Amino acid sequence: MYQLNQVDKKFPGVHALKAVDFEIGRGEIVGLVGENGAGKSTLMKVIYGAYQADGGSITIDGKTVRFQNPRQAMDHGIGMVFQEQSLITNLTVMENIFLGFEQQFVRWGVIDWKAMAEAARHQLRKVKLDIDPATITSKLSFAQRQLVELAKVLTLEERIDGDLVILLDEPTSVLAKEEVELLFSLVRELTSRASFIFVSHRMDEVLELSDRIYVMKDGAVVDVVAHDDAKVDAIQHKMVGRDVDKEYYREQKQQPYDSDKTLVRFDSVSVAGKYKDISFDLHPGEVLCLVGTEGSGREAILRTVFGLEKPTSGTVEVKGSSFSRANAQEGVARGVGYVPRERKVEGIVNGMNVYENMTLSQMGNYASKGILRIGEEKALAKKWIERLAIKTPDVYKDCGGLSGGNQQKVVLAKWRSGGSDIILLDHPTRGLDIGAKEDVYDMIREMCDDGAGIVLVADTLEEAIGLSHTILVLKDGEFQKRFDGSPGDKPSLYDLVHHMI
Amino acid sequence: MTIEKLKPYLPWITLVVLVLLVGAINPSFFNPTALLQLVADIVPLFIMALGMTFAIYIGGIDLSMQQVANLVTVVATVYLAQFGVFVALICIGAGFVIGAVSGWITTRQFVPSFVATLAMGFIALSGARFLSGERALSMNAEARDASFGWMFGNTAGVPHELVIAGVLLAIAWFLQSRTTFGRALKAVGAGELAAVASGLNVDRIKIMAFALSGTFAAIAGLMFSVKLSGGDANLANGFLILAIVAVLVGGTPLTGGVGGVINTLVGTLIVVVIRSAMVYLEVDATMQQMIFGIILIIAIAMTIDRSKMRIVK
Amino acid sequence: MSTFIKDFIEKEKMNRRNFLFASAYGLGGAAALGALGPSMARAALTDPTIAWSYRNRTNPYWNEIVSGGEAFVESLGMSKDALTHLINEGSSEKSLADVKAILAKTDGNVALAIDTNDAPNARPVVESVAEAGGYVSTLWNKTDDLHPWDFGDNYVSHMSWSDEGPAEQTARILLEAMGGKGGVVHLGGIASNNPAIERLNGLKNALKDYPDVELLAAEPADWDTQKANQVMSAFLTRYGDEITGVHCANDTIAYGVLEALRAEGIEDMPIVSYDGNPQAVQLVAERKILATVFTNPHWGGGITAALAYHAAIGTFKPSEEPNEHREFYGPTIMVQPEDALEFKANYLDSVPTYDWTDFWGPSNGPIIYK
Amino acid sequence: MATTETTKTIGSGFPIGRETLVKWAPLLVLIVLCAFFALMEPRFLSTRNFARILIAASPTLMVAIGVTFVIIMGSIDLSMEGAVSVCAVAFAFCFLWLGGTLASWAWLALPIAMLVGAAVGFVNGLIHVKLKIPSFMASLAMGFVGTGLALMMTGGDRIRIEDELFRSLLTERILNFPLMVYVAGIFLLIAWFIQTRTTLGRNFYAVGGGEDLAVASGLNVNRVRIMGFTLAGVFFSVGALLAVGRLGIAETATGNNFMFLSITAVVVGGTALWGGIGGVWNTLVGVLIVFVIGNGMVVIGLPGYVQDGVLGILVILAVILSTDRKSISFVK
């Protein structure tokens, strides 16, 4: 039905898509996997019209089409569900659903809000979401937003007579397990009407949902696997071009921590509206993992350790004494390093180069009386580029132009080179390809060996289990259960989920 | 790719093209001493623009600079006799404090700098009007020459104003590119949240940036006051918009983190060339304003580097 | 530089006039004697560029000034385009920069008529013109310690208007019309401007003879019609019927006041203003304004350019003229309803042809400093 | 000049009161100011004085509404001074040329002036969008061009509009308020209508809320932007017409002072400079706050030199009070 034939796309210096063939049949769910930089997002952008192919052709039911913009793609029944934050938060749900297609509700130049609300309710029913369409989007939870996103794409049903192709870009990254299940069952139902292209880093989900899986590497499709033949190992092998270490999470490198010393002590700490009555100790060499759903208070705890949140009650001690003021400077001064989830916004400064980013948190170490010793900065950057195998042409490269994994390495290098020994990791492997993930896992182990304590909010439960010495399960801001996980004696997925929900 | 490499030099190229254009039409423009004098005369404007660069570099704007300069002309004139050369310290201190207060209102009270600095400007203007007794004041010529005569005049054919401007530019450049403060400014301008998450004291950095712009405004006002040997609450009017234009034309966009003081140097020169071209090319009096606007659009269109701007707002 | 300081100390004991002369050269002296030097020696210029530097074109007053300048240029047999316009847009910085630019362009071969926008700006302007060997006549703004005779021939003349007397006269007309009692409000110009101060003083002087009239308030309206309109509106709220007369610092302000009153349906409020703009004169004829003072900006604009030009080409030698020919008041003509139409016909509808070599004929005596 | 809103929906256990309070803060500020001035000088609180304030505020209100749309989009328009001047002058020329009274064909000058405003705004939008010049710079330069055009047309002269019918905007009163106040009111309602009931109005919020997201939804953002600037131009021209109606004079200086005044008013009213928040009612309150302060200070007899400073302090206070500090992480 929908076909790409020998599609080519080049950017200055990059051959992003190399003669890609891609097809999807009516009612089919096609998975698309590949490492970061393999060309997945470029391919998707070509499909939904954000990019135009340089070579090859796109056909729908045999007819050649060419999209100048996403709008034209939509007119041919191609819609895109973006990662979580693609709804405009200051608009109502119904405005978001019909954004760009308000004309159908306009009579004599006036928007008929009632008609739009009714139509929006119809769309929301399709995704089984029972909310008032006039709700301002910022008041919704992330999961609800994801469903609204899907409802929005499903307006194509009414608008387009022919077949639909819906792209799902990492739709599950912010969803809890049961929400994922709901989404999947919805998608399966909807195959009566539409075909889906499903992009995710979570291999298990791709395997579960897809009829066929396209594997991409270096801008080319290296394999197409049918659902029944799909094996995680084989696919990962194709993606990475090598075998994935059986000991993915580096469990064999896990060493016992030093329980005599305490880096961070939480004693019945609460932050109003975020979490309450949390206690734990973090020891040198320990990976302490906070597990819970979105909104369970995980991030707020990280931010409290860093000094960005002020506890409303209880005491927080970092290296033996509590903060006098809640700000990040004091945290950094005591050796706390924060690797935020929003890497591009909070992790690196887009617009500053590699060495500038690496010394940002520790400029004092590279300056005399406020005057920078730039030579030393560069030397530091070179050392860490080598040590962490950061892929950058030189130290002058703008960090905004690096790939996600390399950006993350720069962030980690920033803290480690500054001697931080309490490292807060918020989704450190989010959006990274397998190779980069393994590098991060290696670094976590190395940091532990160096005596650093790590508080981790992991991307997946497997990751949490694999990496941690200690797991705290949280639910709605309250402590549920503590697990100790020494190598070979780790809690199971089921144990955790049981306490999370 | 070649165009990519040219980008950082576009402001320079624009400047050279403009100079050649004016010179081609009227060759008398190329008189070196006259050009030197031309540049020397815009020094107060340039200093003002230098200060504005700091505010714009962190993604804000300082609309109080003109009124700070007005206030300083009055302060300098009123207290010159009493404090002599040390009146400069009072002036600079006043500029610093006003700028810091603007910065505090912006960062701690979440009032956008556009409005905060505009309002602080009104307060400075009130001060100037009060202190001047609503009159144009003039300096005692002897006291002026004794304290600040060194600001003007020539050494080996180089006007002292240019030396002062050069020194200030060097200081500003050093601050921007060789100090932790300058690095922090860049981080705040390009990615404020990341700067916070790296443990920088972002509020203090921003307050300092506005304090610096206030300080430079005060220096500009002081020089202007000495040059004109007097002060009143309106003396520096007309500086503000030109200073902003100079920064923008130089290629420091309002988004922050890009550009810098060297860009401002080029921008100021471009503005000055455009302005004196009006005189050299005998542009009709009623057309000057319009032509200034059109050339401005062309100049900005040529000089801004759009590659760093994700969305053009 | 150091020689300059040495000079300065030596000259400290000299009398003030000579000192100012010296310092005027001293400040920029090195430049003048260095690269730019030669032009200094010239006694008279041939075919100098005639330039007028003024605030802006959006104000009818300055348009009148410029029309005089253009009339003068035409009287020399040139097209009026020959007059170079330097517009400072209310910025002293631009005013000075433009002067420097024209001096550089013409290498000092310039006859400049200028209002320097702000009094302190007059000194650097005059200094740079003199240094470049050009000739300059100033209008309105200069500081009291700056005098043409301190600059030899190059600073030809300064013309200003003594507004205090005429403003007092209009105030008396106003106070009479109010019947010698009630309350008056004053709407002034930009507070620090000299004419604004003088015109308010005129009113205050007149009020001394009218003890039953109260000066309710005096607010600056910045020569601006819209601001005057708002200030007058607020006055009406604050004082209401207590206001029985309005004294405006100029015609532009009066327009705003008239409209504020009109909005309230008040038609017969006694108002006086200043400047004698054509529209204001028309309003005087209609008795909506009781009096305005015509300062003949057309003549002022023409004669200021003429003085600079003729001094430049050597028609007369300024340094040989008495001081009252170097600093003098411009003419003022009181316009009242009775003679408004006749005045309008004579001065505004058909602009008289002036003899631009009769430099001091219509002028009004030497400038007196208080 | 820009901020990011932290999108933390989780655990928003704040009392409902705060959000509501911030929303109504500008109005509260206005009421407190009125009460304060009335206390100092009871005559402040009279219908006639309110009429005076409204007369003074009407042109600015129109200009501020125009720029509100642009600010909601997250852009800024600084061309108002030039646009107002050129519209006023164009109107005056056409009006006099076509007969000089509304009772003749000269009424055509009204729509012509609005067309001129639309054209200025359109060009402004084109320069901004097509040349990819940030709106701050594009519109600033465009303002110079507008003022320059007005100057070229008038040669610096002022044009009087004496037509009684046109001037009835100021002189005719219904229920103690002159016609121009009602005209401004009607255009305020039109603006409100555009804001809430038309696709274009809602699209302004979409662009301001997230431009890249709007693009991805298939919205022609460039078109919305250009339309926004054009609409702003139309409101600038209405402001120009009211300004001419108020003073009976069209000149290059007609546009003076509108820039800082209108933007201050918009911000004081609670519309965020970073886009997506606020609207025309906020702007109405903001304009009233600014003009009540201006009028009130003269009415209570504050010395002239203090007035600027007091205005500055009050503006800062008003913005502080109407800012939802909890929802903002930083401001530039």
Euclidean distance between CA atoms B301 and A499, whole angstroms: 59
Residue C250 lies in a domain: yes
> Residue B310's pLDDT band (boundaries 50, 70, 90)?
low
Mean pLDDT of D139-144: 94
From A340, A352, A359, residue closest to B197, measured CB to CB: A340
Q: Are C354 and C296 in contact (CB under 8 A)?
A: no
Question: A185: distance to nearest CA of chain B, Å?
Answer: 37
Residue B306 has pLDDT above 80, yes or no: no
pLDDT in tens, C100-131: 889 988 889 999 999 998 888 998 899 999 98
> Residue D332's pLDDT band (boundaries 50, 70, 90)?
low
**Residues of chain A contacting residue D276, judged by C-beta atoms under 8 Å apart:** 88, 90
Mean pLDDT of D35-59: 94
How many Cβ atoms from other residues are within 10 Å of residue C149's Cβ? 16
Contact at CB, C58 and D46, closer than 8 angstroms = no
pLDDT in tens, B26-54: 888 888 887 888 888 889 999 999 999 99
Question: A350: distance to nearest CA of chain B, Å?
Answer: 6
Question: What is the chain A residue with the closest CA to B181?
Answer: A370
> Residue D282's pLDDT band (boundaries 50, 70, 90)?
very high
A-C interface (Cβ pairs under 8 Å ≥ 3): no
CATH class of D26-33+59-323: mainly alpha
User: How much of chain A, in percent, has pLDDT values that exceed 70?
Assistant: 96
Contact at CB, C121 and B26, closer than 8 angstroms = no
Question: What is the chain D residue with the closest CA to B115?
Answer: D264
Domain extents for chain A?
2-240, 251-348+403-409+419-500
Residue C7 lies in a domain: no
Contact at CB, B187 and A360, closer than 8 angstroms = yes
| Chain B interface includes C82 (CB < 8 A) | no
Query: Are C170 and C111 in the same domain?
Result: no
Find the range with the poorest average confidence among B184-193, C10-19, C246-255.
Answer: C10-19
Domain of C287?
164-294
Of C244, C270, C294, the residue at which a domain comes to its end is C294
pLDDT of residue A401: 80
Contact at CB, C8 and B149, closer than 8 angstroms = yes
pLDDT of residue C36: 40
Count H helices and E strands in chain B, helices first: 15, 4
**Residues of chain D contacting residue C220, judged by C-beta atoms under 8 Å apart:** 304
pLDDT in tens, D151-191: 999 888 889 998 999 999 998 999 999 999 999 999 999 99
Find the range with the poorest average confidence among A87-101, A436-450, D2-16, D29-43.
Answer: D2-16
> Residue C22's pLDDT band (boundaries 50, 70, 90)?
very low
Average pLDDT of chain B?
A: 89
Average pLDDT of chain C?
A: 85
Nearest Cα neighbor of A239 from A230, A252, A247 is A230
Find the range with the poorest average confidence among B133-142, C78-87, C318-327, D126-135.
Answer: B133-142
CATH number at residue C57: 3.40.50.2300
pLDDT in tens, C143-167: 888 999 999 899 999 999 888 999 9
| Chain B interface includes C102 (CB < 8 A) | yes
**Residues of chain B contacting residue A352, judged by C-beta atoms under 8 Å apart:** 186-187, 190-191, 257
Chains in contact with D, where contact requires at least 3 CB pairs less than 8 Å apart = A, B, C
Beta bridge partners of A213: A31, A225
Residue C28 has pLDDT above 90, yes or no: no
Contact at CB, D10 and A71, closer than 8 angstroms = no
Q: How many domains does chain C have?
A: 2
Residue A486 has pLDDT above 70, yes or no: yes
User: How much of chain D, in percent, has pLDDT values that exceed 70?
Assistant: 92
Residue C34 has pLDDT above 50, yes or no: no
**Residues of chain D contacting residue C230, judged by C-beta atoms under 8 Å apart:** 56, 294-295, 298
C-D interface (Cβ pairs under 8 Å ≥ 3): yes
Surface of D (181-220) touching B: CB under 8 A: 211-212
All domains in chain B, ordered by first residue: 10-305 (1.10.3470)
Nearest Cα neighbor of D6 from C236, A308, A75, C223 is A308
From D75, D267, D308, residue closest to B125, measured CB to CB: D308
Query: Are C110 and C153 in the same domain?
Result: yes
Contact at CB, B279 and C105, closer than 8 angstroms = yes
Mean pLDDT of A263-269: 91
The vertex-A486 CA angle with A483 and A490, nearest 5°, equals: 55
Euclidean distance between CA atoms D157 and D253, whole angstroms: 10
pLDDT of residue D1: 39
pLDDT of residue A29: 92
**Residues of chain C contacting residue D43, judged by C-beta atoms under 8 Å apart:** 237-238, 240
Contact at CB, B63 and D331, closer than 8 angstroms = no
Contact at CB, B190 and A329, closer than 8 angstroms = no
pLDDT in tens, A212-234: 999 988 788 888 988 888 887 78
Q: Which residue has the tokens 């004693």?
A: A267
pLDDT greater at residue D28 or residue C14: D28
| Chain B interface includes C296 (CB < 8 A) | no
Q: Which residue has the tokens 């009004």?
A: C364
CATH 3.30.70.2190 corresponds to the domain A251-348+403-409+419-500: no
Residue C296 has pLDDT above 60, yes or no: yes
pLDDT in tens, A10-42: 876 567 888 899 999 988 999 998 876 678 888
Domain extents for chain D?
26-33+59-323
Surface of D (153-212) touching C: CB under 8 A: 154-158, 160, 167, 170-171, 178
* Single pTM value for the model: 0.88
Identify the burial level of D164 via C-beta atoms within 10 angstroms of its C-beta, where 0-12 means exposed, 13-18 middle and 19 or more buried: exposed
Mean pLDDT of D287-315: 93
From D138, D152, D312, residue closest to B123, measured CB to CB: D312
Residue D16 has pLDDT above 60, yes or no: no
| Residue B204: partners with Cβ closer than 8 Å, 6 or more residues away | none
pLDDT of residue C201: 94
Mean pLDDT of D237-263: 93
Beta bridge partners of C160: C329
Mutate to test the interface with C, among D55, D172, D180, D293 (most CBs of C within 10 A): D55
From A88, A103, A297, residue closest to D213, measured CB to CB: A88
Contact at CB, B113 and D149, closer than 8 angstroms = no
Mean pLDDT of C278-306: 93
> Residue C16's pLDDT band (boundaries 50, 70, 90)?
very low
Question: D304: distance to nearest CA of chain C, Å?
Answer: 6
Query: Are C312 and C265 in the same domain?
Result: no
Find the range with the poorest average confidence among A395-409, B95-109, D119-133, D226-240.
Answer: A395-409
C109: left (phi over 0), alpha (psi -120 to 50) or beta: beta
Per-residue b or e along A62-90, where b marks 16 or more CB atoms closer than 10 Å to that residue's CB: eeebebeebbebbebbbbbbbbbebbbbb
User: How much of chain B, in percent, has pLDDT values that exceed 90?
Assistant: 50
Chains in contact with C, where contact requires at least 3 CB pairs less than 8 Å apart = B, D
Mean pLDDT of A51-75: 87
pLDDT of residue B312: 65
Regarding the domain with residue range A2-240, which homologous superfamily does it belong to in the CATH classification? P-loop containing nucleotide triphosphate hydrolases (3.40.50.300)
From D144, D310, D329, residue closest to B296, measured CB to CB: D144
Select the highest-mean-pLDDT range: A400-409, D11-20, D235-244, D272-281. D235-244
Average pLDDT of chain A?
A: 85
Surface of B (77-136) touching C: CB under 8 A: 129, 132, 134-136
pLDDT of residue A437: 81
